[in-house]
Amino acid sequence: MKIRNWIIMGLLAVSWIASAVADEVEVKKLIDHNYCNVCHGYGGTTTSELFPQLASQPKEYIATELKEFKDHTRYDENAKRFMWGIASRLNDHDMEALATFYSAQAGVHEGKIKNQAQYDRGQSIYTKGIEDKGVPACMTCHGEKAEGHELIARLGGQNENYLIRQLRAFHASTRETGHVMNFVAGAITDEDLLALAHYLQAQ
């Protein structure tokens, strides 16, 4: 038999075996293993500052963000680079399944304070806001332990550089649904931004 025929037979055989294996895998797991783990880590826990922790995020928040990626109403640079393509292939059922899965995973609680003064300032902003600038206490919406709920994101344990980038994205209005956050991010100084992000990562 010619070598080319052996190659074609080999390719077909692997295709057949692979499809048989894939059929046995749950949709949720398939989506998870194919698309999400590389950036967000297994179980939605990552140490990369480029990508957010998904573990323990509110289900409604995850599903909403995925829809915003899909309909391009969230259009910060990294959303376009990484998530527009992924979300374009997800239907409502997939989004619901992913949101359910990640919201049920145990979230990260780093608890590491690298700079006490920065932490204290961040805690003050988070719990009391910045009165003279009209910035409300973040805790009011995001929860006492920054755990989030429903459409409000969990911020606790999130990488500080990721949080800073997102606050800047709100300021640049590239996350259209975050009207409240657009105002907050615009009113806060860079120094306070760092302090707040530092405090939140340590939660």
Partner 1 sequence: MLKTLKNILFLALVALALAPSVSFAVPSFARQTGMDCAACHTSFPELTPFGREFKLRGYTLGERQWLPVAAMVQASATHISKVHDNSGVTVMPHQNNPEFDVASVFVAGKLNDYVGMFLQMTYNNINGLRDDFSFIHHSAQDNTDIRAVGTSELFGKDLVYGLDLNNNPSVQDVWNSSPAWAYTPWQTSSLAGGPNNQFPTKIDSAFAQTVAGLGGYLWWDRHLYAELSFYGSANKSLKFMSQGQNSFPLLDGHDNPYWRLAWSEDWGSNSLMVGTYGMRVNLFPDPANPHGATDRFTDTALDVQYQYLTDPHIFTVAATYIHENIDWKASYVDGINAGPSNPTGNLNTFRAKATYLYNRKYGATLGYFSSNGSSDNLLYGVTPDINTTLAVSNKPNSRGYSAELDYNPWTNVRFSLTYLGFTQWDGASSNIDGNGRSPRDNNTLILNTWLAF
Catalog residues that contact partner 1 under the rule CB under 8 A. 2-4, 7, 10-11, 14-15, 17-19, 21-22, 25, 33-35, 37-39, 47-50, 77-78, 80-82, 84-86, 88-89, 161, 165
Nearer to partner 1, 48 or 127 (CB): 48
Strand partners, 130: 135
Look at the block and give the residue holding tokens 């006490």: 116
Instruction: Quote the least distance from Cβ 172 to partner 1, whole Å.
Output: 14
Q: How many CB atoms are located within 10 Å of the residue 3 CB? A: 7
Instruction: Write b or e for each residue in 60-82: b if 16 or more Cβ atoms lie within 10 A of its Cβ, otherwise e.
Output: ebbbbbbbbbbeeebbbeebeee
Instruction: Quote the least distance from Cβ 29 to partner 1, whole Å.
Output: 10
Instruction: Quote the least distance from Cβ 124 to partner 1, whole Å.
Output: 28
Nearer to partner 1, 28 or 80 (CB): 80
Instruction: Quote the least distance from Cβ 200 to partner 1, whole Å.
Output: 17
Nearer to partner 1, 35 or 101 (CB): 35
State the Cα–Cα distance between residues 123 and 128, nearest whole angstrom.
Answer: 8
Nearer to partner 1, 152 or 194 (CB): 194
Nearer to partner 1, 17 or 106 (CB): 17
- CB contact set of 162 (below 8 Å; sequence gap of 6+): 49, 50, 51, 52
User: Which helix (H) or strand (E) covers residue 186, if one does?
Assistant: helix 179-187
Instruction: Quote the least distance from Cβ 116 to partner 1, whole Å.
Output: 23
